[in-house]
Amino acid sequence: MNRSKTMVWTWLVLLLAAPLAGAEPEPEVLVELSRDRVYQGESVLYRVTLNHVENPSPPELAGFDDFEVTPAGERSLDSRQVFIINGRRTETIRRGRAYDYQLTPRKAGLLQIPAPIARIGGQVLRGRQLSLEVIAPEDQDVVRLEITSDRPSVYPMQPFTVTLTIFVKELPGAASQQEPVAVQRTPPAVTIPWGNDESLPDGLEPTVGWRQWLGPLQSGRAGFSINNLQRDSVFSLFEERSLLAFRPEPKRVQRLDPSGNQVGYWQYRFERTFVGKRAGRYRFGPVSLKGTFATGLGSGGELAGEGIYAVAQAIDVDVRDVPEAGRPASYIGAVGRFRLEAELTPKQAKVGDPLTLTLTLIGQGTLEAAVAPDLANLPEIADRFRVYEATEETRNNGRRFTYSLRPEQDGIEEFPSVPVAYFDVEAERFVTLRTDPIPIRVTRAEHLSEQQIVSTPRNGSGASRELDVRREGIYVVNVADPAAVHDQSIRPGCWLLGLGGLAGLYAVVAVIIVQARRLRGDKALLRRRNAAAKARRRMREALHGRAGGPMRHQADRMQAALVRLVADVADAPEAGLTAKDACRLLDDFGVEKDLVARADSFLQTCDAVQYGASPASGDDFGREAETLLETLINALKAKRLFR
């Protein structure tokens, strides 16, 4: 009896525990910090994981005033880890989404990282509050860092240059003539936030990619390590080292030390130029430097080193919006420097005939916000032409507006001038361009009178039949010739033969129409099929055709041929597709990494040639472009992306 009771209680416990064991884990917010102690100017990785949550939204980070917060990506989690420590088994299950952020402290001290907030199904969850110790750099005069900008504020698309200047105190004693970074075994490590293109904020673009910026500064021995670039990075063309060293041409200068004495320093300047495509405030920095520098002499006269940590405080550059005052009515939102072209076809027309007007704005600047000029607001055009809504298209460094027009009166001898205004960032003023009047001849539309509508004479005789004009149509009256009466008896054989021929013709035409509709409907398929031929034609034009001109123009067209090949295969819009986007698409297609890197390097070189940052031999450069194009076409065909 006792045994039976025991079994009953055991089963009851198991039955009650079963639902608990199978219960879904409760949602939770986990927070992690890569380090809990950093120097001022350094960044730390902060991860927020929404665990046991399906389809979560990013967490809210409120109260992070002591930090610059930069999103660093997110990813889904589905992992299970088991740890056995001292015989104790611990299991960690993570199913949800992790959100990474880069935190850069704005000040030194023990800073509190507020708890993140997540809203899940109407429930508010909070993570843990963490602490981060931020160590201020010590006062020293061995290394000084400064960040400056040649312009504190600019307009959109107006270039400005940010400069990091590193001052290194000259070596003591007899070694004072030697360059201080040349005696170091390991280059000092410098972290430059704006040195990485991927971390630049939206709306800010460098004039050249970071490889073209740092490439000419690469040094065999002496220099600085930048952003921990190593030998397995994209700088494979340089000599293999654990850390790559970069060294601007140094200059010897005199500066005051904390005691007010003139002291000799070696000055190194890292300059990089940007354009802000949108209005806003952009922060540069802080920059940190870590390294060992010779600060004294040992007992034997040898140099003695000291670990140095230095920080340059961040600066802000304001990109101002175009001023409201003085905006002309013809301002279309373009910012930069441009020229205006116009074309009208045909040059002769009748009243009501369709015309096509094309306005093209070409130059350097931003055209993202440019809208088509409103011709309906120009009385000299609206009074004589019916204007239909324009289409807009951006191509490379130009924007094209295409209008359909119909003249509404005859006697027009020229199409009026069209004003288009843009904002010149260099002169800081609005500039109005005007197209030249275009000669045109518009005549009256022809109308047939009743007397002009006659029948055809028969048998060469000059007599024509009378015509009656009625609402229902035109009827021939007074038919007296028996020859006009035909045999109207039905012939079944002829009818069946005709119907059979029509049925066969209908079947052929139907097949053609279905195939044409399928091809026309699948525009992506058409683009892919024509991608290789179009790319080859563009490359020929860039090298041998109407491109010609300076090398930078050919580089622009060669780059366009390669980028547009990828756009056609991916059915992506050509407008706005950058070299970086094209390489990302190649990677998505599964193209070999080495080939993607080769394409990326060539496209970046094209950028450098266009900006004058890199010379290129026309023949060798052209052969390289043709070879790369054919290699890409074959690689894409191998992936069965087109035939």
Beta partners for 385?
A: 407
- CA angle 390/395/401 to nearest 5° reads 15
Predicted confidence at residue 251, as pLDDT, reads: 95
Residue 141 has which token pair?
């005069």
The pLDDT value recorded for residue 336 is 86
* Token pair belonging to 566: 């990828």
Q: What is the pLDDT of residues 330-349, one digit of tens each?
A: 999 898 889 999 999 999 99
At 582, list the tokens.
């094209």
Radius of gyration of the chain from its Cα atoms, rounded to whole angstroms: 37
> Checking DSSP bridges between strand 153-154 and strand 315-319, what pairing results, if any?
parallel
Nearest to 58 by CA among 25, 96, 114: 96
**Per-residue pLDDT at 233 exceeds 60:** no
State the Cα–Cα distance between residues 592 and 586, nearest whole angstrom: 9
Q: Look at 549 and 571; give whichever has higher pLDDT.
A: 571
pLDDT digits (tens, 9 = 90+) for 38-63: 888 888 899 999 998 888 889 999 99
- Residue 284, beta-bridge partner list: 315
Which tokens belong to 233? 């990075």
Torsion angles phi and psi, residue 250, rounded to 5: -80, 160
Task: Determine contact, residues 314/406, Cβ cutoff 8 Å.
Answer: no
Would you say residue 129 has pLDDT above 80? yes
Give the residue-averaged pLDDT of 353-359: 94
Q: Whole-model pTM?
A: 0.54
DSSP 189: E
Predicted confidence (pLDDT) at residue 638 exceeds the cutoff of 80 = yes
**Packed helices 593-610 and 579-589: angle between N→C axes, nearest 10 degrees:** 170
| DSSP class of 200 | S
pLDDT computed for residue 261 by the predictor: 87
Rounded to whole angstroms, the Cα distance separating 225 from 244 reads 6
The whole-angstrom separation of Cα 83 and Cα 216 is 49
Q: Please provide the size of the chain in residues.
A: 643
Residue 449, pLDDT above cutoff 70: no
SS3 call for 491: coil
Ramachandran sector of residue 83 (left: φ over 0; alpha: ψ -120 to 50; beta: rest)? beta
Spatial CA neighbour of 153 closest among 365, 316, 323 = 316
Least confident span in 69-78, 529-538, 567-576: 567-576
The tokens for 179 are 């360059």
Q: Is the pLDDT of residue 234 over 70?
A: no
Contact 589, 407 (CB under 8 A): no
The CA distance from 307 to 270, in Å, is: 22
Q: What is the pLDDT of residues 583-598, one digit of tens each?
A: 888 988 888 988 999 9
What angle, 0 to 180 degrees and rounded to 10, lies between the N-to-C axes of helices 551-570 and 618-638?
0
Inform me whether the pLDDT recorded for 145 exceeds 70. yes
